[in-house]
DNA sequence: GCGTCCGAATGCGGATCTTGATTGTCGAAG
DNA sequence: CTTCGACAATCAAGATCCGCATTCGGACGC
């Protein structure tokens, strides 16, 4: 899952980035509205964390522009201000959630999880496909009840596929959502990880749609 | 838009119902967890507002049960409690948003709007013609309910025709949209793929307009 | 310093695409 | 109604592309 943080505070921004990366997200950080708007317009994120108080361009403006451009990733708005009228404005501008500073990092992560989950159309924090079960909260994966040890990348890949169960996911899409900005697109990394996941979870878990991408079968599909 | 409110407080519940109804929603009100869970399981709502502190069954339990039953309408959780650990629990149980009492009605409405808007974004776009159904999100094609396996090119071609249902599409147009830039115009690839699609989906699915191109019939056209 | 994990390179095998020739069909004109 | 020409459909085969397995060097963490 790839996240965009738009935050100008010199300590909070990098700190958030580090925390989220250690949680398993690919994170890009923009330190002003201009940059943030550009990244959000040109790259593909699964969610964005947007500070309202920004230099150059106001956070609300950035959000509004994204929405006009039909950029529909979920946005979690951060603000120091605490009046509910600001919240209403933010929500109406297209924010999907709202968090007042100061906040607990854990709550931020929980809300982020919820946002991504909902954006993918999943309600439960447990993602399943056939015998495979993944708990987004604990990061555990089981196959028919048995715990399976996945590496970080394997987990990211599987997680993304599970979040988009039933959908055909292209290799490009996977690369864009598992890695951040700078990554060599010309490599067969995805294939390699798909192979490794298949070795651990069974070959039938991931279906190859030749020429289009990969797909996790919906049990009742 | 139809909303379910699960709220036991004798004043707040009816008051919310009245407010939302005046805003244009159809509202059902349940006053305990048992009733709330039943309504949420059997009726179709666009969103639910769920109080965590409930008699009989706890709100979190109700939410958890809905999610296990694959009831995926967005849920806005209300609570008197204010600790972030409760919020985390609620979000992980499958809540989509969270509001601490007391709250401004206006903020509640704004959040509800945001929830419904987001949920609507997940609607899968399906293209159909006769017995054929193509889901652009999952990339699946079915004929009379039966899944049909199409190759990449077949899929592209069919997809383009479905997007322009009813229109006569020339061979040139198809080539231009299925292939990138330079492609040998003097070839009968299109015919070949049309043949293959017809073999898989039935000969009547694509009509040939001699000298002009191909056409997908609109069912009611 | 050792083990694990990641990502790049390679070669293979098979599915898929394209081509060109052949056969089939439509429609207009005689 | 028949015939003819143009266009469309079909088929088979070679070429091509794509994905898979495997290996290996290096990075990273412990």
Encode pLDDT of A1-19 as tens digits: 999 999 999 999 999 999 9
Q: A75-89, A165-179, B71-85, B88-102: which range is least confident on average?
A: A75-89
Task: Taking residues A141-166, report their average pLDDT.
Answer: 93
| Residue B76 β-bridge partners | B49, B97
CA distance, residue A187 to nearest chain B CA (Å): 21
pLDDT at B221 over 50: no
pLDDT at A86 over 60: yes
CA of A194: nucleotide with nearest C1': D20
What's the CATH architecture for A2-119? 3-Layer(aba) Sandwich (3.40)
What one-character DSSP code corresponds to residue A219? T
pLDDT at A221 over 60: no
- For every residue of A147-174, which 3-state class applies, written as one string? EECCCHHHHHHHHHHHHCCCCEECHHHH
Task: Tell me the CATH number for domain B2-120.
Answer: 3.40.50.2300
Task: Taking residues B177-206, report their average pLDDT.
Answer: 85
Strand C: positions under 7 A of a protein C-beta atom: 4-10, 15-21, 26-27
Residues of A with CB under 8 A from a CB of B: 72, 74, 84, 87-88, 91-92, 94-97, 103-104, 106-107, 110-111, 113-114, 117-125, 137, 166-168, 209-212, 215, 221
Question: pLDDT category, B155, cuts 50, 70, 90?
Answer: very high
pLDDT at A195 over 60: yes
Higher pLDDT residue, A219 or A149?
Answer: A149
pLDDT at B81 over 80: no
The answer to whether the A2-119 and A126-216 domains have the same CATH topology is no
Distance B189 CA to D15 C1' (A): 15
Q: Tell me the per-residue pLDDT of B158-173, one tens digit each, with 9 for 90 and over.
A: 999 998 888 899 988 8
Fold designation for B126-216:
Arc Repressor Mutant, subunit A (1.10.10)
Instruction: Please count the residue pairs, one from chain A and one from chain B, whose beta carbons lie less than 8 angstroms apart.
Output: 93
pLDDT at A124 over 90: no
Q: Which residue of B has its CA nearest to A108?
A: B88
Q: For chain B, what are the domain ranges? A: 2-120, 126-216
């Amino acid at each position: 899952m790839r996240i965009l943080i738009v935050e100008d505070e010199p300590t909070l921004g990098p700190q958030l980035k580090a925390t989220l990366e250690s949680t398993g997200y690919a994170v890009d950080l923009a330190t002003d509205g201009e940059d943030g708007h550009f990244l959000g317009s040109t790259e593909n994120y699964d969610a964005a964390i947007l500070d309202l108080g920004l230099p150059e361009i106001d956070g609300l403006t950035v959000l509004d522009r994204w929405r006009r451009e039909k950029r529909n990733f979920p946005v979690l708005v951060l603000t120091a201000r605490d009046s509910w009228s600001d919240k209403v404005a933010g929500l109406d501008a297209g924010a999907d959630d709202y968090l007042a500073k100061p906040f607990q990092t854990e709550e931020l992560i929980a809300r982020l999880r919820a946002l991504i989950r909902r954006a993918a159309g999943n309600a439960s924090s447990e993602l399943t496909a056939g015998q495979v079960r993944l708990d987004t909260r604990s990061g555990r994966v089981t196959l028919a009840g048995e715990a399976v040890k996945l590496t970080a990348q394997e987990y990211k890949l599987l997680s993304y596929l599970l979040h988009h169960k039933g959908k055909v996911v292209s290799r490009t899409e996977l690369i864009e959502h598992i890695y951040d900005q700078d990554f060599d697109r010309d490599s067969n990394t995805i294939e390699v990880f798909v192979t490794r996941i298949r070795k651990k979870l069974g070959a039938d878990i991931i279906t190859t749609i030749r020429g289009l991408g990969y797909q996790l079968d919906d049990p009742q599909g």
